[in-house]
Amino acid sequence: MKYKATWGFLIIFLALTAYLLFFDIPKEKKEIEQKEKAEKLFDFSADQVSQVELISLKGRFLFQKNPEGKWMVQNIPQDTASAPLNVLADSREIESIIQKINDLGTTRLIDEKGDDLKSFGFTTPEKSAVVTLKNKSTLKLLIGDDGALSQTLYVKRGDSGKVYLAGADIKSIIEKDFWGLRNKRLIFYDQGLIDQIEVKTLEKSWSLTKKGEEWTFGDRPNDKIDEVRVSSFLFMAGMLEGEKILDEEARRLKDYGLDAPIVSLKFHEKGKTYTILVGNKTGKIKGPADGLSALGNPSGSVFQINKNFLNKIPSKDDLIKKEPSPLPSSSSIMQGSH
């Protein structure tokens, strides 16, 4: 009888567990997802975005992907006589903007009809973001003043009069100027795919080749290479950003000392080469005394960089793995004590 009771309790326990796992918990999860979806101002897939347009007091900017799949930013001037400037965008910024718009949730409905939009800060010129999807549909976000509650602001859809309160962090998408939205990195590569590095400076020159998982010098194949130092250098060079623009189209290399660069860095992968050239001039644009000119591909623009970058380029000896000094033997310690 005791065994029958135990089996009965076990069957009931398993049945309850199965109900929770397969019916109750999924239902609760679905209700939470539906609630979150209902509180979102927009619902779209980030990978379906083909274009984003921002309008703010900082300017009007249009983001589109080029044939290679890279985001470009176009600075559209208010003066129609001026041509818009179209350059590589900072993809991290664009992806962040898209994600913030997609994640935008409303905390409270403030006005059902939106009869007096000016009182909420929806004025002309407007502050807005327009997302265009691959199916050509558009989603427009209008941003108003700071809300009555702390850390909130007023927002509304372009196709609705309803005014909502939302988290104030969405305001950051219209606070960037053109410099904050454009690409400032000199080169882009996948660090794991680089299989050869060439460095030429006024003081040091060396070349490393990757064979399998190990790096070697061509002229000193027996040297053990410190792979951590190589990885650190690759990361540092790949993340190098300019401090200001000297020449958008790199038309006058001689003005910046780039016709005879003081530094040439080349990073190779199969079929591709990424190059950074550093010159000793900043042209006619006045800058700090520690500024140098630099040109990278595929950015194609001449940037000003900090002179400290030169100190971060390792020499050949810096990359050789240092063997730890052997510990003194007990006999030598004893001899030293005498």
When divided into structural domains, the chain yields a total of 2
The values of phi and psi at residue 167, to 5°, are: -65, 140
Assigned domain for 41 exists = no
Q: Among the three residues 114, 149, 181, which one is the final residue of a domain in this structure?
A: 181
The pLDDT > 70 percentage for the chain reads: 84
Assigned domain for 331 exists = no
pLDDT tier for residue 5 given thresholds of 50, 70 and 90:
low
Question: Which residue do the tokens 């007096």 mark?
Answer: 116
Q: What is the pLDDT of residue 337?
A: 52
Q: What is the pLDDT of residue 289?
A: 61
Q: What is the pLDDT of residue 35?
A: 44
Assigned domain for 267 exists = yes
CA distance 14 to 116: 59
pLDDT tier for residue 2 given thresholds of 50, 70 and 90:
low
Q: What is the pLDDT of residue 218?
A: 79
Do 148 and 64 fall into the same domain? yes
pLDDT tier for residue 283 given thresholds of 50, 70 and 90:
low
- Residue 283 domain boundaries: 191-319
Do 204 and 301 fall into the same domain? yes
Q: Is the pLDDT of residue 28 over 70?
A: no
Give pLDDT tens digits for 68-88. 889 999 999 877 667 778 899
Q: What is the pLDDT of residue 32?
A: 40
Q: Among the three residues 125, 150, 181, which one is the final residue of a domain in this structure?
A: 181
Q: Is the pLDDT of residue 113 over 70?
A: yes
The values of phi and psi at residue 88, to 5°, are: -60, 140
Distances (CA, A) of 127 to 21, 63, 304: 47, 16, 32
Do 195 and 155 fall into the same domain? no
Q: ω into residue 314 within 30 of 0, thus cis? A: no
Distances (CA, A) of 9 to 4, 6, 12, 70, 245: 9, 5, 5, 61, 75
Please compute the mean of the pLDDT values over residues 297-306 and round it to a whole number.
86
pLDDT tier for residue 13 given thresholds of 50, 70 and 90:
confident
Please compute the mean of the pLDDT values over residues 261-266 and round it to a whole number.
96
Q: What is the pLDDT of residue 212?
A: 87
Do 281 and 198 fall into the same domain? yes
Give pLDDT tens digits for 125-159. 899 999 999 999 999 999 999 998 889 999 999 99
What is the domain-level CATH number for residue 173?
Answer: 2.60.40
Assigned domain for 156 exists = yes
Do 168 and 221 fall into the same domain? no
Whole-number average pLDDT of the chain: 85
Assigned domain for 17 exists = no
Assigned domain for 328 exists = no
Say how many residues make up the chain: 338
Assigned domain for 36 exists = no
Assigned domain for 170 exists = yes
Do 129 and 243 fall into the same domain? no
Look at the alpha carbons of 308, 310, 313, 318 in this order and tell me if their dihedral is positive or negative.
negative
Please compute the mean of the pLDDT values over residues 203-231 and round it to a whole number.
90
The pLDDT > 90 percentage for the chain reads: 60
Give pLDDT tens digits for 44-69. 999 999 999 999 989 999 999 998 88
pLDDT tier for residue 326 given thresholds of 50, 70 and 90:
low
Contact at 8 Å (CB) between 97 and 129? Answer: yes
Look at the alpha carbons of 325, 331, 334, 338 in this order and tell me if their dihedral is positive or negative.
negative
Structure tokens at 296: 């990278």
Structure tokens at 205: 């020159």
Q: Is the pLDDT of residue 261 over 80?
A: yes
Q: Among the three residues 181, 212, 237, which one is the final residue of a domain in this structure?
A: 181
Which pTM value belongs to this model? Answer: 0.76
Do 65 and 96 fall into the same domain? yes
Do 84 and 131 fall into the same domain? yes
Contact at 8 Å (CB) between 305 and 294? Answer: yes
The values of phi and psi at residue 250, to 5°, are: 50, 50
Q: Is the pLDDT of residue 15 over 50?
A: yes
Please compute the mean of the pLDDT values over residues 259-287 and round it to a whole number.
87
Do 108 and 208 fall into the same domain? no
